[in-house]
Each structure stands twice: as structure tokens, then as C-alpha cells.
Amino acid sequence: MKFIPTRLVEVVLVEPDIHADDRGFLAETWRSDLFEAANIDARFVLDLHCRSVKGTLRGLHYQAHRTQGKLVRVLSGEIYDVAVDVRGSSPTVGQWVAETLSADNRRALWIPPGFAHGYLVLSETADIQYKLTDYHAPDHERTIRWDDEELAIAWPMDERHECTVSDKDRAGQSFREADYCA
């Protein structure tokens, strides 16, 4: 496994070693000793599988308390995956990083606790798997608007391509109004 730092060093792109032949492939997607050696301290308690259609934009989601680390990978399709630093005491608070994750590149993105997360589906459909370090806590759930002007996330779309956003995500707070994580 390769651990590739992003512009926000705590957010790490994980590239598995692929063993492929004419029968298919085998990829190790999680191995605690290698993650620990890469200074990623993650004890996962929950796995989620989500399917979305092209143009679906989810996020930006986080929990202000009981923060969650997420290991995100795509089982089929392709997404533009975004992490935003919402740690109030961080020197990079309000900065974001994005990576394209797909079934073809087989990469995963480690998003540590204290980061908001969102994605845009680029393929006809996408199956996304999350490994989470804490359980869903509805009382602590927060949403920042995906199109917040201060964040200015460069989502890969133009005026010809509308995205589908849930009512909950459309009603998200601005980044300035957000509850930061400690």
C-alpha cells in the first residue's frame, strides 16, 4: 500500500497494491499495521455502502461532536470526493482538498475526524463504501452548503450539468455559521 499525502497532510490518498491476472484482481484495502505505520490511527466501528446516480452531490457532512474518521472508496463508478477542514483550532481550517476516486483507480481517501465530507457522482452510478471510526450521532450531525462562496470548492460541473442535492443538504449552513470541531 502507498500512502500519498494531499495538500492537507492529514487527508491521505491510499493506493492499494493490486495483484492482477487474466482471472481478475486482488487488492488489500485495509491493514491496521500499515495504516499505523503511516501514522493513521483508525479503529473502524461501522461500514456503510451507498449507491448514487450521476449528478448526485452529497455533503458537506460532519459531526461537530463524536467526530468521525472516514475511509472512502468506490466499488463501482467514479466520484469527485471532497474533504474540508472544520477543526476550529487548525491552521488549515476552511481549506479543502479533492480527489477523484473510482473503481478503475481503486484508490481510497482517508478523511480524519474534524473534516466535513462530500462528493459528486461523475459516472452513471457509483457504489461507495465508507469505513467509519464512530457511529452516526444525529444530534451532532452538521451540514455545510456544498456551494458555499467562502469555501469556493471547484466541483467539476458547469451550467449545462445540474446536480441533484437533497433538501437537507440544500438547507445546510454557510461555512461562517458552521459549528467547528474541537
Question: Annotated catalytic sites, by residue?
Answer: 61, 130
Q: How far apart are CA 100 and CA 144, in angstroms?
A: 21
Three-state DSSP at 111 gives strand
Residue type, 118: G
If we measure between CA atoms, which residue out of 163, 167, 172 comes closest to residue 57? Answer: 163
100 vs 77, 97, 118, 137, 164, CA distance in Å?
A: 11, 11, 12, 28, 19
Element (H, E) at 94: none
Q: Copy the grid coordinates of residue 55.
A: 449528478
Phi and psi at residue 138, to the nearest 5° = -55, -35
